[in-house]
Structure 1
Amino acid sequence: MNAPVYVLGTGLSHNGSAVLLKDGRICVGIEKERLSRIKHDGGNDNLAVQYCLDAEGIQLKDISLVVQCANFEIPDRNQYKGKRLFAEVKDLKIIDISHHLSHAYSAVGTSPFSECAVMVIDGCGSPLDQFIKLHPEQKQYVSPEILNETQMVCEKDSFYHFDGQKLISLMKDFSKMAEKSDSLFSLPTTQHSIGGFYATVSHYVFGDMDDVGKLMGLAPFGKSGIYDFEAFEFKSGNLFVNEDWKNQFTNPSKGYEYFKINFDYYANVAKWAQEQVEKAVLKCIQNRLKQFPHKNLCYSGGVALNAVANAKLQDSKIAENIYFEPAAADNGLALGCAFYGWLECLNMPKVPHDGNTCFGKTYSDDEIEIVFDKNENKKYKYKKFFEENELVNYCAEKLNQGKTIAWFQSGAEFGPRSLGRRSILAHPGIEAMKDHINLDIKFREDFRPFAPAVLKEKVGEYFVKGRNSPYMILVDKTKPEYLEKLKNVTHWDGSARVQTVEESWNPKFVKLLTAFYKQSGIAVLLNTSLNKKGMPIVETPQEALDLFEMTALDILVLENYVIEK
């Protein structure tokens, strides 16, 4: 029997990660922040790489190929922000690829398509000189005016065709970097990117750029039509940011108290920015598909996490089938690196992906009991359930009574959304539950929304479009007759970022939802990530117990073990 072929992908920009393929299938993957416990952590990849090796029970010598990607440089194999594990294995082959190519391969590798178009839109990709050094044959796809540019320019958006084996570049747009200054709107991104624009507005509204998703959560509270100027314009098929819009906004947030006093103002700004992004994304992709039509579209890059724009894109019927990459931001670069190694470098056939996006390791009963046996944890009395049905019925009963549950099951999700493996769960309709979780468990702003997790076959009953949305990456509208029952998971404007729960890779969560449905009459649960503000999603049983202790969570479920306060 032949030994398995392992390909390791590693992303070294912010939101670093590592992914291991075994014979073309993902066997393990992890984001570095889950291990270092530093939000958006990147740089040296030892933690994430070692996690993958340990989870699979192999060593570096067992790996056939490593593919890596960093944003602004080509990393040294032995040293990158500290000594690297690869320094010990001199004959291990390591290949470098560019930023947008990594995003694109992460999408095609996990998509259901054997052939498709691929769109990548983000804040900033690889610099032009690095891109050409890595892929000299693709110089022909870069316009002469960009090639002659004397300032630093970086990837802004890229469009590809995937033929079932390899990606072919069709169009690439580059932009100058935004000038660094003390200006309110200074950015570490390209000057004309959708992602950069969104991050700028987020900084204006909240005072930080690390959590731009908050802007999407604030936008439903705003009103359309307050501002009548445009942020973007298209020239010769390329997208540009108008600088004039910055002159319209002169009241940046001065902290959370100031934000709350001026809430309506900032909500209207967020609404305007969100609508600008929706129009820009649609126009950009329409332009590319008009030149290179295809019925299947993959979409990746940080901007592809905008669930509202994604829904508009799907509703536009711009393509028959659209796959939104669940780990569309830089945490997905390692995925793309690994698939590039398998498909492009080793020239191996694409292996169909089962739709799963949970690539973390599973913790054994012994590992969980070791945590409970620590002296500081002996104050908690745990109960072990030996029958899965008994466990889910018990938890469903508690949820129906209004208890909050930390739900820790199997291997963790890869990407920004908790999908029922590392989740906080609660009743979707009990009065004030949303405020309680924001205030006493998540310790975050009270306007922040929560997602409804719904049984896949029931989504059309509760939501207008009834979209299939297994990765919580599309919004829908809650039907009017269910607004009261789903008040904790419906935004101010009636929208909801829905997760349809798949039995094929989330069977225990389906069982819990089914049990809750039988007891409550509602096939929906409030689902949010198992963390608090500023904290990466928990990875280990000990971290879950620590979070349980520091918050107002009522119940912690670690696999088949239950503890209660």
Structure 2
Amino acid sequence: MNKPIYVLGTGLSHNGSAVLLKDGKVCVAIEKERLSRIKHDGGNDYLAIQYCLDAENIKLSDIDLVVQCANFEIPERNQYKGKRIFANTDFPKIVNISHHLAHAYSAVGTASFNECNVVVIDGCGSPLDQFLQLHPEHKHLIQPDIIKETKMQCEKDSFYYFNGQKLIPLWKDFSVMSPFSEKNLSTPTTKHSIGGFYASVSKYVFGDMQDVGKLMGLAPYGTSGVYKVDAFEFKESRLFIHHTWQYHFDKPSKGYSYFKKHFSYYANVAKWAQEQVEKAVLECIQYRTNSYPSQNLCYSGGVALNAVANSKLLDLKLVDNIYFEPAAGDNGLALGCAFYGWLEHLNKPKTYHNGNTCFGKSYTDQEIEKAISNESIHFKKLENELDLLHYCAKQLQNGKTIAWFQSGSEFGPRALGRRSILAHPGIKGLKDHINKNIKFREDFRPFAPAILKDKVTEYFKYGRNSPYMILVDKTKPEHVEDLLNVTHYDGSSRVQTVEETWNPMFHKLITEFYNVSGIPMVLNTSLNKKGTPIVETPKEAIKLFKETAIDILIIENYLIETKLQ
């Protein structure tokens, strides 16, 4: 029997992660923040790599190739913000690639099609000097005025063609960095990036840039047309920001109470910013796809997490098929590194990927019971799966909240039914209760419906297939009242269509809830509270259960309930 070929990808930017391929397929992957418990953690990759090795039960010596990516520098083998796992070894070989190339390979490695174009749009990629050091053969793609610029420049949008084996760069754009400033409207990264613009408005509205997704959640409360200024323009095939837009906004947030007092103002700002981003994304991708036609498109980079813009891109019907990479942010860099190693460096054929994005390790009964006993809480083990599913479905129908912990954790920013908090989608007051007493976050933040895939057209206008909660739809008017906890202020809903193939237990639970309640969906939000990563281990799930107002905790087939305390 031939020894498996293992390729390790590691991302060392913020939102660091590690991914292990076995013969071209993902066997385990983890984001560093899930282990360190520090949100958006990056830098040193020892912890994440060791997790992958332990989960697969192999040693570093079993790894055939390592591919890494970090912004602004090429990490040394022995040290990078601490001792690395490769210190004092000459094997395995380590290859370095650029930021956008990693984003692009993360998409093509998991997409269902073999031939496609790939667009990457984010806030800031690799500096030009580093890019040319890593990929000198691509210098001809860079426009002369970019090469002549003496200031530091970084990737901001890239376009590639994937021929089934390798990515061929077609277009790359760079932007100079913004000068450092404490001003709330200072673009935090590159001066002309869509991601940088969105982050700067997020800081203006909320006082921070760590959770830019909140801006998309606030935008539906705003009114279109309040601000007439445009933030972006296309000029000679390149996208630029008009920085004069900053002069129209002079009331930065001074904290949450100030934000609440001026809620309508900030909602209007968020609405304007969201619409500006949508316009820029659509114009940029439309221009590129018209220049380089293909019937399939992959989309990655942090801006690809904007579910509203994604849906509008889909509606343009520029191509036959669009794949939105579910780990489109920097947490997906390690995934792209690993697939680059397999496809381009080792020249191995692409393997079939079934759409699964849950790559964490599973926990044994022994590990679960140890975590429970250490916390001195009572539990019940339900040996019969049907009994477990029926009990949970009935409790959801009765308005209880359930922390749902099953199998290997999701890779990426969305909880998809492996590390989730679940509730009834229509019982009045539950949305506010979860935001206030479980998530401890702002009351305007929306929740998503997780619906059986074959029922989505009955409840939502467009009936999009959206397994990664990365697209929005409109709740049909006749169902808004029944789905008030998962329908946003403007009637929109960020839908998750649940796949039986790679999410069987979650699919079974929703099916049982449908049998009990007549509703083929549940409210689904991530198993964490504001400011903390999604839980990874049974111990962390129990800790969260004890700290919040969650009614029931299910870890595999173990039941922990408030009344059992």
Residue of structure 1 in register with 2:282 after alignment = 282
Q: d(CA) in 1 for partners of 2:535 and 2:134?
A: 36
Shift of 1:228: 1.0
Conserved in 2, the CA contact under 8 Å of 1:178 and 1:187?
A: yes
Shift of 1:91: 2.6
The TM-score, its normalising length taken from structure 2, stands at 0.99
Equivalences for residues 453-464 of structure 1 within 5 A: 453-464=450-461
After superposition, the C-alpha distances for 1:393-440 in whole angstroms (9 at most, x for unaligned) are: 110000000000000000000000000000000000001100000000
Shift of 1:89: 2.4
The secondary structure found in structure 2 opposite 1:85 is coil
Aligned: 1:483 with 2:480: yes
Conserved in 2, the CA contact under 8 Å of 1:216 and 1:306?
A: yes
Conserved in 1, the CA contact under 8 Å of 2:184 and 2:207?
A: no
After superposition, the C-alpha distances for 1:307-326 in whole angstroms (9 at most, x for unaligned) are: 00000000000111000000
Conserved in 2, the CA contact under 8 Å of 1:61 and 1:89?
A: no
Conserved in 2, the CA contact under 8 Å of 1:60 and 1:89?
A: no
Q: d(CA) in 2 for partners of 1:367 and 1:228?
A: 58
Residue of structure 1 in register with 2:70 after alignment = 70
Conserved in 1, the CA contact under 8 Å of 2:188 and 2:199?
A: no
Residue of structure 2 in register with 1:248 after alignment = 248
Q: d(CA) in 2 for partners of 1:55 and 1:556?
A: 24
Structure 1 residue ranges without an equivalent (≥5): none
Q: d(CA) in 2 for partners of 1:466 and 1:115?
A: 26
Residue of structure 2 in register with 1:137 after alignment = 137
Shift of 1:237: 1.4
Aligned: 1:520 with 2:556: no
Residue of structure 2 in register with 1:48 after alignment = 48
Shift of 1:381: 1.6
Q: d(CA) in 1 for partners of 2:386 and 2:409?
A: 22
The secondary structure found in structure 1 opposite 2:160 is strand
Equivalences for residues 384-533 of structure 1 within 5 A: 384-533=381-530
Q: d(CA) in 1 for partners of 2:317 and 2:361?
A: 38
Match of 1:562 among 536, 559, 563: 559
Q: d(CA) in 1 for partners of 2:551 and 2:473?
A: 30
Shift of 1:275: 0.5
Q: d(CA) in 1 for partners of 2:173 and 2:266?
A: 32
The secondary structure found in structure 1 opposite 2:288 is helix
Letter in 2 for 1:439: K
The secondary structure found in structure 1 opposite 2:524 is strand
Equivalences for residues 295-306 of structure 1 within 5 A: 295-306=295-306
Shift of 1:188: 2.9
Q: d(CA) in 2 for partners of 1:186 and 1:71?
A: 20
Shift of 1:88: 3.7
Shift of 1:195: 0.2
Q: d(CA) in 1 for partners of 2:468 and 2:133?
A: 35
Q: Which moved more, 1:36-45 or 1:221-230?
A: 221-230
Shift of 1:262: 0.4
Shift of 1:34: 0.2
Shift of 1:529: 0.2
Q: d(CA) in 2 for partners of 1:91 and 1:217?
A: 46
Q: d(CA) in 1 for partners of 2:463 and 2:37?
A: 36
Letter in 1 for 2:22: K
Q: Which moved more, 1:44-53 or 1:81-90?
A: 81-90
After superposition, the C-alpha distances for 1:262-301 in whole angstroms (9 at most, x for unaligned) are: 0001001000000000010000001101110000000000
Q: d(CA) in 2 for partners of 1:17 and 1:30?
A: 6
After superposition, the C-alpha distances for 1:465-491 in whole angstroms (9 at most, x for unaligned) are: 000000000000000011011000010
After superposition, the C-alpha distances for 1:530-564 in whole angstroms (9 at most, x for unaligned) are: 00000000000000000000000000000000010
Shift of 1:31: 0.1
The TM-score, its normalising length taken from structure 1, stands at 0.99
Q: Which moved more, 1:219-228 or 1:327-336?
A: 219-228
Conserved in 1, the CA contact under 8 Å of 2:426 and 2:484?
A: yes
Letter in 1 for 2:209: M
Q: d(CA) in 2 for partners of 1:184 and 1:9?
A: 35
Q: d(CA) in 1 for partners of 2:352 and 2:498?
A: 20
Conserved in 1, the CA contact under 8 Å of 2:188 and 2:200?
A: no
Q: d(CA) in 2 for partners of 1:251 and 1:495?
A: 28
Q: d(CA) in 1 for partners of 2:403 and 2:556?
A: 11
The secondary structure found in structure 2 opposite 1:391 is helix
The secondary structure found in structure 1 opposite 2:549 is coil
Shift of 1:509: 0.5
Count of aligned positions: 562
Conserved in 1, the CA contact under 8 Å of 2:61 and 2:92?
A: yes
- RMSD of aligned Cα (Å): 0.6
Q: d(CA) in 2 for partners of 1:90 and 1:549?
A: 46
Conserved in 2, the CA contact under 8 Å of 1:406 and 1:423?
A: yes
Equivalences for residues 158-169 of structure 1 within 5 A: 158-169=158-169
The secondary structure found in structure 2 opposite 1:553 is coil
Residue of structure 2 in register with 1:171 after alignment = 171
Residue of structure 2 in register with 1:9 after alignment = 9
Conserved in 1, the CA contact under 8 Å of 2:4 and 2:22?
A: yes
Q: d(CA) in 2 for partners of 1:486 and 1:523?
A: 11
Q: d(CA) in 2 for partners of 1:331 and 1:404?
A: 29
Conserved in 1, the CA contact under 8 Å of 2:99 and 2:333?
A: yes
Conserved in 2, the CA contact under 8 Å of 1:109 and 1:339?
A: yes
Conserved in 1, the CA contact under 8 Å of 2:11 and 2:331?
A: yes
The secondary structure found in structure 2 opposite 1:86 is coil
Letter in 2 for 1:299: Y
Residue of structure 2 in register with 1:102 after alignment = 102
The secondary structure found in structure 1 opposite 2:383 is coil
Q: d(CA) in 1 for partners of 2:64 and 2:88?
A: 15
Q: d(CA) in 1 for partners of 2:435 and 2:300?
A: 30
Residue of structure 1 in register with 2:148 after alignment = 148
After superposition, the C-alpha distances for 1:114-142 in whole angstroms (9 at most, x for unaligned) are: 10000000000000000000000000100
Conserved in 2, the CA contact under 8 Å of 1:26 and 1:359?
A: yes
Q: d(CA) in 1 for partners of 2:501 and 2:329?
A: 25
Letter in 1 for 2:346: L
Equivalences for residues 167-246 of structure 1 within 5 A: 167-246=167-246
